[in-house]
Chains A and B, each alone.
Chain A
């Protein structure tokens, strides 16, 4: 131990020397063996555990990894159908609150202005879809509330998208601005297809295309040709299932036809 060697060597040397002192002497070994065997002779062995069918669950619950995997599967298996069901729900259904909460969470977890505007557009599209479904199912009591929600969300989304588009155009990012324009267009198309009429905050009624593209005089003129009262009725208003009992497929075809006439050529491309 007097050698001045490296510290590692010293430690292992110490261990090796210590091991020598940890050996049971022959005498003690023999004595202990006798004692043990004497005790063993009078001590019965335990009966082996018989593992029944429940042992599988025992294995799962005793092993943390298995348990974690099982919990994950259970959570995903429970949450996914609920989320899926909630996504398909309409006002008045039990899962509709879940849908609202999920949408709120999605909006709050998005930080960019552009991203938020896209989510708002998606939500507006959902409100329009819900309104359409309610009209199809003739749930008259819920329609006014849904109309109000769709209007609010539509106005909010279009305003936001337009604001983002303006900002992007100012910055010279035309590609992104075009994408936003397409998003407005697709929202507008959906509104037309589903027979949705936009109401301004002051109570005036405006066609979806007119609202989204207020400067497009040509399309307004085209629309006015087929309408008796331009301020009170939009081209899509006569496709409203609540006021019209025509076949839904006919309604869709008619809406598509109207859309071709109304939406400017540039946007159709």
Chain B
């Protein structure tokens, strides 16, 4: 924590010298939805593209070291004192950041703790060190106020019925809207570690860790860059007759391409889910080699009970159906949505082992399992 403060102070002194330009931008290699700029008195963080169709909407945060004067020019940003010592989380995905930065001490509140797969967090929720934020149905703003958070991380969907940030802003709470889930590249989502780290004053640790993640990811990707064949891949499963397939520019599509696979809907231009007819997916993907993430099914029997027509896919016949449910826990929690987001290199290794087992002969699956 002290290093973080010193780090910010160091930037502050550099920024104060008249020769230096007004702002110094921290280079982010993959994340597109946030930027970090070092100003004279504070660090300015801008979050863009917070939800689908949010247009030019931005959220800005001025991170100023504790105890200093309020920066004179906040440029409309919300002032947050760093390092944050009382952090509340509306989503469990950031728990992997706390784990990686060893910053459990700053966590005071967590919504939906039943979805947390992080063991230390679960222990802290049970012992009462971390309070549950009642957020089922309606958010209980009062109990959140009692937590006296210095920052509350939440993502938003642009839907007033589900978004909590307007409510929290009205209650004058230090809400921080993130856009991690909107990143298209797996490393982009991982790089949000630097975002959390800026609030916790742990930038150096975050930079070092992200570097090792990135290196490993790129190493794996180059391993699968020129495979002899590119197996075709389909993803997801229909619900109520509608098959939401990942778009051709989505996170999943990106991961499949990086693992040396050919995604059947790679010609699609969107980055979210695309609703398709069951039969049109069947038409395109009947002969696909690999089928990923078939809903909640963990065995072939479960899969075929959902719909016997699934047996018609070549992937089902050839035993090429894999789900990321190996670390699935009760209550629907799954480590792939926490640790797996921070560590795309582990997910990529799993995918490469699925698509090109010869490239990683002794691989032990972390998140994926083959449906038997």
Indicate, yes or no, whether A interacts with B: no
Binding site for A on B (CB under 8 A): none
